[in-house]
């Protein structure tokens, strides 16, 4: 091993003592995290950090960010994969399955219920008001979450510069997210191999404050849990089982219903999508909209934004917008079944093929990534990726703000790309007032997200009914 690449010290190879966290207690905490996981990936990651690192002290800052960096590399929702990763660290495979499933379950149930309302009641004023108020509140929550995770990840000027560069690339130049990730990874790897301090974990000019929770001061400690040691036989076994669970339903639908049936198309399309969803829901939204609206004709263009609104205002990953698409596709095109039953099956099928691959990426790769937690080049690579992703998340927050506060947006073309500019005359004053009030509550008075969401929802309903 060269001087530029180091691994965990030999002391970490000893078997760790029991961390003392019962599976029952962990299940309750994962359910609590799932219920509070509003506001997209930044907000969800911030919730996990606050509860698992700051409050419970189950894992430390270094381990949390190392796991997050790995999940940022994967296709799929990084927050859900982070939950599965940490659940696996604490309680092996069953811990990862429970943590990942509970993270999705509240959002699945909420979006399913709201999808029923959507197709049965349409645009009733009460529902319009509810979404109006929730969007303004979620805007404040997302901004607060971006600030929080940015403070944790951007430790020095080099990392902040990478975040700014990523923001400029994706907002102004329409650079694809995978290209941003690859560029950041290359910069981090080269910086880590060269031993540059700015690319080292804990290096740089700025610390994160005296309240940082170090791995050594947590229940899990600094060492490597016995079950987290790389085991090729176990990895092949669990990967094979998860591949069967993921792809067997797709194969059965092909065999019994044929390639043109709506359920087969749902299973195939969203399985393909699960392989390319780098960057979360927003980065893949255009692709889903193009195929679901233009190619398959499952829903209308405006309905995609309605689905995103459902995903924005319910707990769980934003990629749950795909569940709404699958629901409407089966509702409108399935034959031989009552529409609502078909829609429910479509939602379940979409969710299954979207999230099952996430467990494959985590259980197959996490033991090897965890073993390399002390690898300087890998840590620098992942840290650089995280810095770039902060810029991407900032872009998403700005996109959300533009489309929440303004009724019209125009595209400005520039050399090499273009960007969205709101039409100032279309500013929604009521949405702006609600968003500012929510921001004051969150930033100034530290009001929790659930009360903010509830109050804004009630004010949104009142506004629409009065107006």
pLDDT over 70 percentage in the chain: 86
Domain count across the chain: 1
3-state secondary structure the chain: CCCCCCCCCHHHHCCCCCCCCCHHHHHHHHHHHHHCCCCHHHHHHHHHHHHHHHHCCCCCHHHHHHHHHHHHHCCCCHHHHHHHHHHHHHHHHHHHHHHHHHHHHHHHHHHHHHHHHHHHHCCCHHHHHHHHHHHHHHHHHHHHHHHHHHHHHCCCHHHHHHHHHHHHHHHCCCCCHHHHHHHHHHHHHHHHHCCCHHHCCCCCCCCCCCCCCCHHHCCCCCCCCHHHCCCHHHHHHHHHHHHHHHHHHHHHHHHHHCCCCHHHHHHHHHHHHCCCCCCCHHHHHHHHHHHHHHHCCCCCHHHHHHHHHHHHCCCCCHHHHHHHHHHHHHHHHCCCCCHHHHHHHHHHHHHHHHHHHHHHHHHHHHHHHHHCCCCHHHHHHHHHHHHHHHHHHHHHHHHHHHHHHECCEEEEEECCEEEEEECHHHECHHHHHHHHHHHHHHHHCCCCHHHHHHHHHHHHHHHHHHC
Q: Give the pLDDT of residue 235.
A: 83
Beta bridge partners of 410: 421
Distance of alpha carbon 45 from alpha carbon 69, whole angstroms: 12
What is the reported pLDDT for 11?
37
Q: What is the percent of the chain where pLDDT is above 90?
A: 34
Q: Is residue 150 part of a domain?
A: yes
Model pTM? 0.71
Q: Per-residue pLDDT tens for 390-432?
A: 887 788 778 778 877 888 888 888 877 778 899 999 999 999 9
pLDDT at 14 over 60: no
Q: Is residue 379 pLDDT above 80, yes or no?
A: no
Interval 183-197 mean pLDDT: 88
When pLDDT is cut at 50, 70 and 90, the band that residue 208 belongs to is very low
CB atoms within 10 A of CB 14: 10
Radius of gyration of the chain from its Cα atoms, rounded to whole angstroms: 22
Predicted local confidence at residue 9, as pLDDT: 41
CA neighbor of 132 nearest in space, from 466, 456, 403, 400: 456
Asked if residue 8 belongs to a domain, the reply is: no
- Averaged pLDDT of the chain: 82
**pLDDT over threshold 60, residue 283:** no
Is residue 365 within 8 A of residue 138, CB to CB? The reply is no
Span 137-148, mean pLDDT?
A: 75
Residue 214 within any structural domain of the chain: no
Q: Which range of residues forms the domain containing residue 240?
A: 20-155+229-373+428-467
**Lowest mean per-residue pLDDT among 69-83, 146-160, 279-293, 361-375:** 279-293
Residue 271: predicted pLDDT: 93
| Confidence (pLDDT) at 344 | 97
Residue 423 belongs to a domain: no
Domain membership flag for residue 148: yes
Predicted confidence at residue 40, as pLDDT, reads 66
Q: Determine the average pLDDT of the residues in 33-46.
A: 77
Helix axis angle for 281-289 and 301-312, nearest 10°, is 160
Task: Tell whether the model's pLDDT for residue 109 goes beyond 70.
Answer: yes
Task: Yes or no: say if 138 and 313 are a contact pair by the CB < 8 Å rule.
Answer: yes
* pLDDT tens readout for residues 440-464: 998 888 887 778 888 998 999 999 9
Q: Does some domain include residue 355?
A: yes
Q: How far apart are CA 376 and CA 153, in angstroms?
A: 17
pLDDT at 15: 38
Per-residue pLDDT for 355 more than 50? yes
Classify residue 278: in a domain, yes or no. yes
Reported as a pLDDT band with limits 50, 70 and 90, residue 198 is confident
- Asked whether residue 170 is domain-assigned, the answer is no
Q: What is the mean pLDDT of residues 174-195?
A: 84
Average pLDDT over residues 251-277: 91
pLDDT, residue 145, reads 67
Residue 281: predicted pLDDT:
58
Given a cut of 70, whether residue 17 has pLDDT beyond it is no
pLDDT of 218 strictly over 70: yes
- Across the range 316-326, mean pLDDT stands at 89
pLDDT of residue 7: 40
């Amino acid at each position: 091993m060269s001087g530029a690449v180091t691994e965990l010290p030999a002391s970490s190879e000893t078997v760790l003592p029991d961390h003392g966290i019962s599976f029952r207690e962990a299940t309750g905490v994962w359910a609590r995290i799932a219920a509070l996981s509003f506001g997209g990936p930044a907000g969800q990651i911030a919730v996990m950090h606050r509860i698992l690192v700051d409050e419970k002290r189950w894992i430390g800052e270094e381990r949390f960010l190392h796991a997050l960096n790995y999940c940022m590399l994967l296709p799929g929702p990084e927050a859900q994969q982070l939950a599965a990763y940490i659940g696996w660290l604490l309680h092996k495979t069953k811990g990862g399955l429970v943590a990942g499933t509970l993270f999705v379950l509240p959002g699945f149930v909420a979006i399913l219920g709201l999808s029923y309302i959507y197709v049965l009641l349409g645009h009733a004023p009460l529902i319009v008001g509810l979404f109006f108020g929730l969007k303004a509140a979620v805007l404040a929550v997302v901004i607060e979450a971006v600030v929080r995770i940015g403070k944790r990840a951007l430790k020095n000027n080099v990392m902040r510069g990478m975040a700014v560069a990523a923001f400029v690339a994706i907002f102004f130049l329409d650079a694809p997210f995978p290209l941003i990730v690859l560029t950041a990874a290359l910069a981090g790897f080269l910086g880590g191999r060269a031993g540059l301090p700015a690319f080292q974990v804990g290096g740089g000019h700025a610390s994160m404050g005296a309240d940082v929770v170090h791995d050594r001061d947590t229940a899990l400690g600094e060492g490597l849990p016995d079950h987290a040691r790389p085991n090729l036989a176990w990895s092949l076994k669990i990967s094979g089982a998860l591949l069967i669970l993921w792809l067997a339903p797709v194969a059965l639908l092909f065999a019994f219903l044929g390639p043109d049936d709506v359920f087969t198309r749902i299973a195939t399309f969203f399985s393909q999508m699960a392989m390319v969803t780098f960057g979360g829901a927003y980065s893949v939204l255009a692709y889903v909209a193009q195929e679901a609206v233009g190619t398959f004709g499952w829903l209308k263009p405006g309905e995609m934004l309605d689905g995103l609104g459902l995903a924005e205002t319910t707990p769980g990953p934003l990629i749950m917008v795909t569940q709404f698409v699958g629901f409407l596709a089966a509702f409108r095109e399935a034959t031989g079944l009552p529409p609502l039953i078909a829609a429910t099956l479509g939602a379940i099928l979409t969710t299954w093929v979207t999230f099952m691959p996430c467990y494959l990426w985590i259980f197959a790769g996490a033991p090897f990534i965890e073993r390399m937690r002390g690898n300087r080049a890998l840590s620098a690579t992942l840290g650089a990726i995280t810095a770039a992703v902060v810029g991407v998340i900032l872009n998403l927050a700005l996109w959300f703000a533009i489309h929440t506060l303004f009724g019209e947006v125009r595209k400005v073309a520039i050399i090499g790309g273009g960007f969205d500019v709101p039409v100032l005359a279309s500013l929604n004053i009521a949405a702006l007032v609600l968003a500012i009030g929510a921001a004051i509550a969150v930033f100034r008075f530290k009001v929790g997200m659930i009360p903010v969401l509830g109050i804004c929802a009630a004010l949104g309903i009142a506004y629409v009914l009065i107006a």
